[in-house]
Structure 1
């Protein structure tokens, strides 16, 4: 009998579909472009306005961190319409193509030295990430059949690309920007995204079976936002709550004296509708088990907001601290401030397997290793990282500068906390969310991540008045106490999950491989 000829999309490399490696390199270059530009963002905005390539925008720290907060929030919020457009209209494959094109154009425009180009470039990047980010991960899952044991390892390989792109971007883009100028750094990020687009287009023949335009049956499986809003109009109590929140949003827009008052007003209106939908979902749940799990799901969202609200000081306030208040001289050479942004991805690559094995050993010994425990522990460990920023701030007040190792230690603890929470939270969310609301709830999860990023911007902005020492100290105390509070109530919270992870525990205990990496 003649051997069956495999089609391109059926071919494998190192035991996985070739399409996985196409998506690996696409995402690697996308993260290269995103994190390369992110490492420069607040540094460029606060740099002095000079003639030549080193000229920045000359903004205050508060203004720069505020825009950084809006930008990083919108990047995640755009995942909601990006995922919706793919799921309901064009499919993930076309959505990723559009996202890559928008990102390439956005980074290219950022290389132009003009204020209109800066805002236009950021807008295109926001739209591009929103189209690409939620959909490329969906395509990775689609490469494997439902019960394929290779799926988890495939995602692990994929996330190596994420962190590899982030790590190399912080080093190369930061170095180019420090030597040749900001816009050369933005341009290098754009070249990276162009390479990712070319890889993706070249590899289309290996992705034939995934990310295609959804069928009518697939579209009918999801509960639409319009359906929930129509139900909200029929519920006087929930509608009244939403209207009250919207009224407050408009009032705050009229009375708040800040530059971005209407930005906050629009955000409050958005949150009002999200609140209304979340209430309607709870009302429509079937039975007490679904409702109890939904309550725990909401708490996990709160932990996500708290975690990223603290963690994302890394790209804003801590990035500025590295630039302005850290002694970065090493053997007579000044380390670019943007390089410190690569510490997070570097630590993830080095310690992800180590952290995963620690949790696996705890589980084998019968000790607490469920998702709630991991997430609360992650918040505490991340909070401890701010102790080192407190020490750095105290050293700066005494000596006029602080040592680099304080930043490195802070980033190390932040990364250890991230490895406990980030790979777990999204998986835990999918276990608790009602199946018929899954697509919508995934959008809510990314919205919570985006809201955490905006909270980080608001906190970082306050440092100009409160001082870094107070901000870092406050973040340490709040994060640690919040994590401890969750641990104190963890037993009743576990009961409310009604064994959502029990079956998974049995399956995982029989597996010999564990490997977790994180994307934020």
Structure 2
């Protein structure tokens, strides 16, 4: 019954407390915080490309470069934020610090500047984005980690808990573009960005107010060391905070230098590939080596998918604004609001896809992980081709139906790749490398975000502005290429599946739980 409570074990440490729907109440606090963080993030993202092109009068090409750099840095930042949380702050302090910094960033974005302000307006805008990047690095990784700390490692409620948490993400991602997008494009940019800041402030207040629900989870690993004064001047905790804030100027610089971000990502990716091959061939036996090669195969597909999928916030948003009939029941819907469609589809079809995989698995029909990756690429490519086919003759507006169909194909593709990819990283990597492989997965996503900016920039003509025919020509090419690569991936899937040695996972789990000589008592 909704709202009922009972007593149950809440934390891995063995503390007890009341539950809601059979889960620790702290889970719903984190649901609330993550919902508002995603509300603010996706609400602001829905306005980003329009703010650059319509307010600051960037060309489509330059706006796309800035978009790609920003989104790349968003996905890189949790690597450092997560490290500082694990080593010094603990997840609770990291979430609080990250939430406050994100709110500050959105408030800065709400301080609307204009062309008449010279460089000051644009400078404030970059500063707001840089501040959001820094805060996201702390909150994003630590909130997810806190969910796991509410449960013992063997608790069967862990997977359903992350499902509930994931729903919070998509609730926020659904309502954020609807509210912020409408306010920003109908009432003024500062109203949209201001609404995003209100959402994050609400999340921070709720997190502070309901802190006891965490039952002591996410505290610093060494509180005494964290409180020590460094050189007798400042506590180590405040030193971490202040030094983290110093990354804001660096992010401010990098957002404006997309080429440097690209070289950083390329160098990091090359080093990751070399490291994985060194681990596979230098330190592992045959099964471990095979699995690392399978991981590398999946990691290569990851940025290809996200580079195509993330046209949502850049070229596709501009296409929807300029070349789509957005009239619904006589109301001309602001283009930014359509960025909520994907998250709404996930809420609708996520449970359906999960049930479908279970139904197919019981009959031995479930596609392997690499086959699902190939299917994801085919679906994202099909989405672009559907839009191209439905756009009609030059000079006509594209019916809104085809935007919805594109989002449907892309969402189904995401559900084939995103959850199963994270699961594959956790299953295939050795236990000593799981955290690192999760970080590498997000690094690959950052590379995809950068590629998304490059693809969107390619839709611009010689003057940097995207024409309808130019966008559709790019979509047609990437659509067919994505399907072709997806078919190749599905053809290679049986070989990659053999490299994964899936049949040995249950045996290895059993040995891990019951070491030799310590089997379960009959």
**Which residue of the partner structure matches residue 401 of structure 2?**
405
What corresponds to 1:36 in structure 2?
A: 43
In the alignment, which of 425, 433, 439 is matched to residue 437 of structure 1?
433
Residue of structure 1 in register with 2:198 after alignment? 191
- Where do 5+ consecutive residues of structure 2 fail to align? 1-5, 113-120, 224-255, 511-522
Deviation at 1:372, TM superposition (A): 2.2
Q: 1:13 aligns with which of 12, 17, 20?
A: 20
Which residue of structure 2 lines up, in the alignment, with residue 81 of structure 1?
80
SS at match of 2:459: helix
Residue in structure 1 matched with residue 501 of structure 2 by the alignment: 498
The separation in 2 between residues aligned to 1:9 and 1:477, in whole angstroms, is 55
Does structure 2 conserve the Cα–Cα contact (< 8 Å) formed by 1:92 and 1:135?
yes
Pick from 435, 445, 449: which aligns with 1:449?
A: 445
Q: How many residues align?
A: 454
TM superposition shift of 1:259: 6.7
1:124-143 alignment, distance < 5 Å = 124-143=131-150
1:424 equivalent in structure 2: 420
Q: Give the corresponding residue for 1:144.
A: 151
Q: Pick closer, same or farther for the CA change 1:443–1:173 going to 2, 3 Å.
A: same
Ranges in structure 1 where 5+ consecutive residues have no aligned partner: 48-55, 217-257, 508-520
Checking the alignment, whether the CA contact within 8 Å between 2:26 and 2:215 is kept in structure 1 is: no
Deviations 1:231-288 (A, max 9, x none): xxxxxxxxxxxxxxxxxxxxxxxxxxx9744443343343344344334433443211
Tell me the SS of whatever aligns to 1:10: strand
- Alignment partners' CA distance in 1, 2:97 and 2:206: 14
Is the contact between residue 75 and residue 129 of structure 1 (CA under 8 Å) also seen in structure 2?
Answer: yes
Answer with 319-328 or 15-24: which moved more: 319-328
Q: Is the 8 A contact 2:170 2:347 kept in 1?
A: yes
Q: Name the SS for the 1:11 alignment partner.
A: strand
Check if 1:178 corresponds to 2:185. yes
Match of 2:359 in 1: 361
Give, in angstroms, the shift of residue 308 of structure 1. Answer: 0.5
| Alignment-derived partner of residue 62 in structure 1 | 61
Q: TM-score scaled by structure 2? A: 0.82
Alignment of 1:112 onto 2:111: yes
How far did 1:215 drift?
Answer: 5.8
Aligned to 2:210: 203
Kindly indicate whether the alpha-carbon contact (under 8 Å) linking 1:385 and 1:411 is maintained by their aligned counterparts in 2. yes
Output the CA distance in 1 between the equivalents of 2:19 and 2:210: 13
The Cα shift of 1:481 comes to 1.2
Is 1:308–1:452's contact at 8 Å kept on the other side of the alignment?
yes
Distance 1:330 1:284, change over 3 A: same
For 1:5 and 1:385, the matched residues in 2 are separated by 46
Distance 2:268 2:500 in 1: 29
Superimposed CA distance per residue, residues 132-188 of structure 1 (whole angstroms, 9 cap, x where no aligned partner):
111111110111111111111111111111100011111111111122111110010
Q: Structure 2: how far apart are the matches of 1:78 and 1:6?
A: 33
Residue 294 of structure 1 aligns with which residue? 292
3-state DSSP class of the match of 1:489? helix
Instruction: Report the aligned-residue RMSD.
Output: 2.4
Q: Which runs of 4+ in 1 moved over 4 A?
A: 3-9
Show the 5 A alignment for 1:272-291.
272-291=270-289
Q: Report the alpha carbon displacement of residue 301 of structure 1 after superposing the two structures with TM.
A: 0.7
| Counterparts of 1:424 and 1:271, CA distance in 2 | 21
Q: Which moved more, 1:152-161 or 1:16-25?
A: 152-161
Deviates more, 1:34-43 or 1:439-448: 439-448
Q: State which drifts further: 351-360 or 102-111.
A: 351-360
| SS of aligned partner of 1:12 | strand
Quote how far apart the aligned CAs of 1:318 are.
0.3
Q: Distance in 2 between matches of 1:84 and 1:375?
A: 29
2:485 to 479, 482, 492: 482
How far residue 379 of structure 1 moved from its aligned partner, in angstroms, is 1.9
Matches within 5 A, 1:213-292: 213-214=220-221, 260-292=258-290
For the Cα contact (< 8 Å) 1:9–1:18, is it kept in 2?
no
